[in-house]
């Protein structure tokens, strides 16, 4: 097989290597050329389920760099003639192999970004390969990213770099997938997304939503003829005072809709690609903050449970003290009443009814005897019932302080 490419095939290979834009193919017959490229092992071609996708492989990159197929046979070269009789016995010197940690010309790559050194750990791949579901959703539906067409590829590469770096760190990337919805009135089906977030990245405990769009600037609104006519007719202005128009600077938002957004924008001196490390610092800090909040809530729950336990234990001790104090108050009241009854019975003993009727006198004597017996049997010091339980372990001042601090319990009738 002839491994060389014609001009059309070479153009298709370059187009695929730059990330194929199906809206702008280099030739109408690009699929035929792609099949020829696949047969030469320069690309991988996927045409399953009605979708067309092509990705350049290592041999294709080699062809673009060297202008020939890596498997092409090298033309035989004429052997060098020795310049003298001694040269026939001299073995060619071998170049020493470079150390394992020293890059060679074949492995050394020139960085595509000459921005800040802080971005050295966040590479920006020149192509999108084996795209994550979040990136496929964005690439397949160009309207997802609100940027001009000429900035769309750059936006895709930035978002792909975010996803690939997140996966390298074993973080979770959750795509925002679309669904089809039928219009209520017309029945026309349209594609909708649940939010403006492109996807989210979670370092463990706090998903950070990702958005990308062009930075906007505020300008004065120029009223249209319709705006002026409406204001003259109805007497009020319906048009806004200002408009927001996109600029040529891109804006990346991390954590949108969660705890405030980290905004990374293009400036005169730097680009978003130079500052992607800040995005991952933000995502990590969101997870750290979430873990700290969860730990604080856990500690608060533990302390609150301990406070409730102590309060309940104090309540039990105070109620027990109150029962013993109530028993003493009841004994005091009964003792006071018994003493008053004793004084009454003693007073009755020295008196006789003012009557000459012997039956009444006898009845008075019988009642007085019963009263004396009742007074003796009802002595509270004899009939007093001791309260149950162990001796209260509170002091009187502690009990009074607890009663003062819990007056609402007595007001609500929970304690007498």
pLDDT mean across residues, the chain: 82
Q: How far apart are the C-alpha atoms of 13 and 43, rounded to whole Å?
A: 8
Number of residues in the chain:
416
The residue that leads in pLDDT, 201 or 409, is 201
pLDDT tens for 54-77 read 888 888 888 888 888 887 765 555
pLDDT for res 281: 93
Pick from 195, 221, 97: nearest CA to 137: 195
Q: Which of 265, 261, 142, 163 is nearest to 209 (CA)?
A: 261
**Paired residues of 208 in beta bridges:** 201
> In this predicted structure, what is the pLDDT of residue 61?
85
Give the pLDDT of residue 114.
Answer: 39
**Between the ranges 17-26, 224-233, 330-339, where is the mean pLDDT highest?**
330-339
pLDDT in tens, 27-56: 777 778 888 888 888 888 876 656 777 888
pLDDT value for 327: 92
Q: What is the pLDDT of residues 288-318, one digit of tens each?
A: 999 999 999 999 999 999 999 999 999 999 9
Which residue bears the tokens 């001042």?
A: 397
For the range 407-410, what are the long-range contacts, defined as Cβ-Cβ under 8 Å and sequence gap of 24 or more? none
Residue 107: predicted pLDDT = 32
Looking at the chain, the number of H-run helices and the number of E-run strands are 11, 9
pTM of the predicted model, to two decimals?
Answer: 0.56
Task: Identify the weakest region by mean pLDDT among 39-43, 211-215, 281-285.
Answer: 39-43
pLDDT exceeds 70 at position 89: no
Q: 149-186: string of b/e by CB count within 10 Å (b at 16+)?
A: eeebebbbbbbbbbbbbbeeeebebebbeeeeeeeeee
State how far the alpha carbon of 302 is from the alpha carbons of 99, 298, 299, 307, 308, in Å.
58, 6, 5, 9, 10
Predicted local distance difference test score (pLDDT) of residue 116? 38
Angle (nearest 5°) at CA 153 between 279 and 136: 75
């Amino acid at each position: 097989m002839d491994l060389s490419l014609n001009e059309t095939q070479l153009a298709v290979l370059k187009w695929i290597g730059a990330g194929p834009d199906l809206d702008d193919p280099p030739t109408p017959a690009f699929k035929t050329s792609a099949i020829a490229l696949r047969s030469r092992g320069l690309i991988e071609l996927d045409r399953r389920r009605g979708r067309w996708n092509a990705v350049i492989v290592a041999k294709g990159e080699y062809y673009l760099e060297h202008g020939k197929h890596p498997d092409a046979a090298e033309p035989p070269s004429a052997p060098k003639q020795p310049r003298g009789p001694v040269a026939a016995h001299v073995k060619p010197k071998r170049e020493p192999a470079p150390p394992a940690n020293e890059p060679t010309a074949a492995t050394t790559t020139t960085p595509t970004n000459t921005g800040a050194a802080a971005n050295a750990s966040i590479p920006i791949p020149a192509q999108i390969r084996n795209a994550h579901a979040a990136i496929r959703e964005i690439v397949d539906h160009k309207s997802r990213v609100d940027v001009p067409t000429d900035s769309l590829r750059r936006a895709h590469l930035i978002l792909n770099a975010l996803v690939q770096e997140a996966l390298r760190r074993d973080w979770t990337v959750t795509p925002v997938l679309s669904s089809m919805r039928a219009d209520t009135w017309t029945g026309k089906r349209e594609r909708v997304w649940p939010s403006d977030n492109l996807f989210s990245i979670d370092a463990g405990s706090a998903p950070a939503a990702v958005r990308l769009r062009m930075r906007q600037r505020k300008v004065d609104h120029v009223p249209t003829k319709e705006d002026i006519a409406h204001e003259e007719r109805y007497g009020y202005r319906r048009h806004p005072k200002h408009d927001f128009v996109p600029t040529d600077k891109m804006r990346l938002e991390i954590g949108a809709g969660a705890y405030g957004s980290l905004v990374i924008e293009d400036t005169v001196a730097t680009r978003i690609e130079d500052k992607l490390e800040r995005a991952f610092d933000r995502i990590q800090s969101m997870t750290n903050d979430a873990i700290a909040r969860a730990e604080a809530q856990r500690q608060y729950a533990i302390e609150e449970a301990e406070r409730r336990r102590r309060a309940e234990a104090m309540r039990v001790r105070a109620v027990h003290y109150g029962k013993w104090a109530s028993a003493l108050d009841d004994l005091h009241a009964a003792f006071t009443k018994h003493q008053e009854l004793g004084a009454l019975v003693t007073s009755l003993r020295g008196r006789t009814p003012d009557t000459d009727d012997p039956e009444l006198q006898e009845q008075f004597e019988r009642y007085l005897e019963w009263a004396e017996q009742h007074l003796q049997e009802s002595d509270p010091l004899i009939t007093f019932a001791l309260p149950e339980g162990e001796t209260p372990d509170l002091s009187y001042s502690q009990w009074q302080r607890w009663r003062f601090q819990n007056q609402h319990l007595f007001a609500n009738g929970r304690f007498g």
